[in-house]
């Protein structure tokens, strides 16, 4: 079984409110269908969640009553995005079902307290493809929290121990620096968790309400330390996803599973 994260920056125009990249998601769904693997899919919230969450300071937890509307609107919009993702998967006869975090996950102090893993297990047993996503959820001590797709990836990887984990991002993989800002940045095709720790990245330049690239690297290290190989691949080149899922070569970054 593969655990796959479709990044919000790939399936949406992250700087444009509620803008779904229909053609990109269609191509991703086509390649996932061709690969014909057992999967759990997680997708980011992109412009359907991040902009609203930032406007209402949802990452800080409950501070004032006006945030409740922001919470409700964000929940509705990320579920709208989830429906668009499901539609694309269904168009290629992938039997995808939605498991929204606001119904299956609770937090305490901005960290996962509980996930209904049995629901994921049951759907997998019945040969469905579970799809979950970045969302806003209840938090026992903070009122509410942002539940990012990356946090879900870490939790699901820990529980299910997939064959491999794949992060579908808007770059070819990990670079020695931020390739959007530094033309001398070079792609790192293979590295260990120790090398991941020392890799120089411009994490702060990617920061958002879910901690951006810096948070992603922390999650990837945790997953790899459990002995699970983790791949980062460019979602704007969807044919690469198919090749990697069927064991062929394609440009990407591989973080080898193994403890530091």
Q: Each residue of 192-226: pLDDT tens digit?
A: 988 887 765 544 444 444 455 667 888 999 999 99
- Supply 24's token pair: 């990109």
Say what the pLDDT of residue 195 is: 85
Answer whether residue 260 is part of any domain: no
Answer whether residue 132 is part of any domain: yes
More confident of the two residues 177 and 117: 117
DSSP-assigned letter for residue 140: T
Q: How far apart are CA 212 and CA 187, in angstroms?
A: 19
Residue 150's alpha-carbon distances to 127, 211, 215, in angstroms, are 24, 10, 8
- pTM, whole model, 2 decimals? 0.92
High-pLDDT (> 70) share of the chain, %: 93
Answer whether residue 239 is part of any domain: yes
Helix segments in the chain, DSSP class H: 8-11, 22-35, 46-55, 67-91, 101-104, 117-125, 149-160, 193-198, 212-224, 238-245
Answer whether residue 32 is part of any domain: yes
SS3 sequence, 54-88?
HHCCHHHCCCCCCHHHHHHHHHHHHHHHHHHHHHH
Say what the pLDDT of residue 202 is: 44
pLDDT digits (tens, 9 = 90+) for 163-194: 999 999 999 999 888 777 888 889 999 999 88
- Supply 152's token pair: 């879900």
* Domains contained in the chain, number: 1
Q: Quick check: helix, strand or coil at residue 170?
A: coil
More confident of the two residues 26 and 259: 26
- Note down the domain range covering 29: 2-255
Q: Quick check: helix, strand or coil at residue 28?
A: helix
Say what the pLDDT of residue 111 is: 95
Rounded to whole angstroms, the maximal C-alpha distance in the chain is 52
- The domain that holds 152 is classified in CATH as 3.40.1160.10
Q: What is the mean pLDDT of the chain?
A: 92
- Supply 120's token pair: 């994921």
Answer whether residue 29 is part of any domain: yes
Answer whether residue 214 is part of any domain: yes
């Amino acid at each position: 079984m593969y655990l796959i994260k479709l990044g919000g920056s790939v399936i949406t125009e992250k700087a444009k409110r509620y803008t779904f990249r229909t053609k990109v998601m269609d191509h991703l769904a086509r390649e996932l269908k061709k690969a014909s693997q057992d999967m759990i899919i997680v997708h980011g919230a992109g412009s359907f969640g991040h902009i609203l969450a930032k406007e209402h300071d949802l990452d800080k937890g409950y501070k004032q009553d006006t945030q409740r509307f922001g919470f409700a609107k964000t929940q509705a919009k990320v579920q709208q995005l989830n429906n668009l993702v499901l539609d694309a998967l269904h168009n290629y006869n992938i039997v995808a079902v939605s498991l929204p975090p606001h119904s299956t996950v609770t937090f305490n102090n901005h960290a996962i307290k509980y996930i209904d893993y049995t629901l994921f297990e049951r759907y997998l047993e019945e040969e469905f493809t579970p799809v979950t996503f970045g969302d806003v959820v209840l938090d026992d001590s903070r009122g509410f929290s942002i539940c990012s797709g990356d946090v879900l990836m870490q939790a699901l990887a820990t529980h299910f121990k997939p064959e491999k984990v794949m992060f579908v991002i808007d770059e070819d993989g990990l670079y020695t620096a931020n390739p959007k800002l530094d033309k001398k940045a070079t792609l790192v095709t293979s590295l260990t968790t120790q090398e991941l720790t020392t890799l120089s990245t411009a994490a702060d330049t990617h920061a958002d309400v879910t901690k951006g690239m810096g948070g992603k690297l922390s999650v990837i290290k945790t997953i790899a330390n459990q002995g699970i190989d983790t791949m980062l691949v460019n979602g704007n080149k969807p044919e690469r996803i198919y090749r990697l899922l069927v064991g062929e070569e394609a440009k990407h970054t591989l973080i080898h599973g193994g403890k530091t």
